[in-house]
Amino acid sequence: MEKLIITAALTGAEVTRELQPNLAITPDEIAQDAYEVYKAGASIVHIHARDKDGNATQSYEVYKEIKEKIESKCPIIFQPSTGGAVWHTPEERLQPVELKPEMATLSCGTCNFGNDVFMNSQEYMEKFATRMKELGVKPEIEVFERGMINNALKLVKKGLLDSPLHFDFVMGVPGAITGEIRDLLYLAESIPKESTWTVAGIGRYELPLATMAIMMGGHVRVGFEDNIYYKKGELAKSNAQLVERIVRLAKELGREIATPDEARKILNIK
């Protein structure tokens, strides 16, 4: 099996400091958090920026500041979100791609998202994919439902995405696919053979899905965006604590951990 790529999703757009007191908010805090997860074994950081009041923002300037601060500390792969929050416009969401990051997320379909709707129309999926291709940004295909795999393959047919694709199965969002193991098997069997994939299990699904991914040859995403607990009733102390647990599990299960440069090779990032 390939070495294991661990992505740390540090903040997300929805988590607040009231829910998780150790949440990073300012660019300095986010960069420090990125450095801590890098030291713990993560090779990618998935970033959502926050404004001064702690609200999610897709501001080009704030992402730029975060990117520069992270790059000054460590060689971890910077992967901004183009999903943003459900209330961001597509134009706002696309802004961090203009920084030409090595990677960025590309959500490939619309789904319910708790009490909200996460909108990704065909028109905007195509616009996002086109801009990423123009700027040489590797998309991570966010899959919240099975049909989103087909949407991604349609973008390949249209020449807007290049194979091999890299998928992130986001599982357990209320309103979308569950975090049950059978659904992970279903998704993993439904993508083209040459693809790579990672899994982001939401809440209590994070640990069992991560364990399955380690054993199946997939990759793993953890972090406060997906899960704020270490175990039932106990908040995690840090994103690094969640990464450290995956490193320990992987070692027990015979999977080595990829450095950022090894992750670049596995993901065909130039």
Contact in structure between 9 and 243 (CB atoms under 8 Å):
no
Torsion sign, CA atoms 100, 118, 230, 178: negative
CB of 105 to ligand KMH, least distance (A): 3
Q: Letter for the amino acid at 251?
A: K
Q: Letter for the amino acid at 241?
A: Q
Alpha-carbon distance of 15 to 56, in angstroms, equals: 9
Which C-beta is closer to ligand KMH: that of 83 or that of 247? 83
DSSP tag of 103: E
Which C-beta is closer to ligand KMH: that of 85 or that of 171? 85
CB of 88 to ligand KMH, least distance (A): 8
Nearest to 92 by CA among 52, 70, 61: 61
With a CB cutoff of 8 Å and minimum separation 6, the contacts of 217 are 1, 2
Closest-by-Cβ residue to Zn ion is 81
Site stretch for Zn ion (CB under 5 A), options 80-88, 94-102, 144-152, 190-198: 80-88
CB of 254 to ligand KMH, least distance (A): 31
Find which of ligand KMH, Zn ion, none residue 20 binds, CB within 5 to 8 Å per kind: none
Strand partners, 46: 9, 79
Strand partners, 21: none
- Other C-beta atoms closer than 10 Å to the C-beta of 7 total 30
The two tokens of residue 103 are 């990677």
CB of 259 to ligand KMH, least distance (A): 24
Which C-beta is closer to ligand KMH: that of 43 or that of 81? 81
Q: Which of 58, 81, 151, 239 binds Zn ion (CB under 5 A)?
A: 81
Find which of Zn ion, ligand KMH, none residue 183 binds, CB within 5 to 8 Å per kind: none
Using CB under 6 A, list all residues that contact ligand KMH: 12-13, 81-83, 85-86, 105, 107, 113, 118, 142
Phi, psi of 30 (to 5 degrees): -65, -40
Find which of Zn ion, ligand KMH, none residue 86 binds, CB within 5 to 8 Å per kind: ligand KMH
CB of 83 to ligand KMH, least distance (A): 2
Which C-beta is closer to ligand KMH: that of 13 or that of 137? 13
Contact in structure between 131 and 159 (CB atoms under 8 Å):
no
57 binds Zn ion (CB under 5 A): no
Chain positions contacting Zn ion, by CB under 5 A:
81
